[in-house]
Amino acid sequence: MSELKPLSADAVPAALAKAEHYRLLNEPEEAESICIDILEVDPEHQRALINLLLARTDQFDEGSPTLLKQAREVLPRLRREFDRAYYGGLICERQAKSLLRRRGRRSGFVAYEWFQYALEQYQLAIDHGGSRPAEVGDTTLRWNTCVRMIERHPHCAPAPEERAELGLE
């Protein structure tokens, strides 16, 4: 098997631009690979960590349960509480949307729970982003998107009580 080649520190800025470009081209696996190479050079590079997390969430529709776990593993490496909450919410929101697209028997109920987790995280981000109005604004937009997604999809609702499912009401 071939060995990986290390990226030079001088190549990091251009590599990061390429990772962002590949995400825009809907090629998240390429973006993920580039971010991993950047993080080999600079393990704490915040933009590379965020792009890695986003590239992994871009792949949620593939249905791999490891991608959710891998995306969540990036969160503790983010320095700012705001970023941990905001991107934690984004992971939950993207998981919910992915579940809605799958349209499984209980996907609406599970998606609803993921949207609720997203809203909790976004509220934490709003609470921690008070000195940065633009970030609070972005978080507010994400919050509103989640609320509208729940409203737009009638099957995206809390799971009925077990008693109701059994016809005991």
Q: Identify the three-state secondary structure at position 133.
A: helix
Reported as a single tens digit per residue, the pLDDT across 68-122 is 999 999 999 999 999 999 999 999 999 999 999 987 788 999 999 999 999 999 9
Q: What is the pLDDT at residue 163?
A: 37
CA–CA distance, 88 with 42 (Å, rounded to integer): 22
* pLDDT of residue 164 exceeding 80: no
This prediction's pTM: 0.91
CA–CA distance, 153 with 4 (Å, rounded to integer): 45
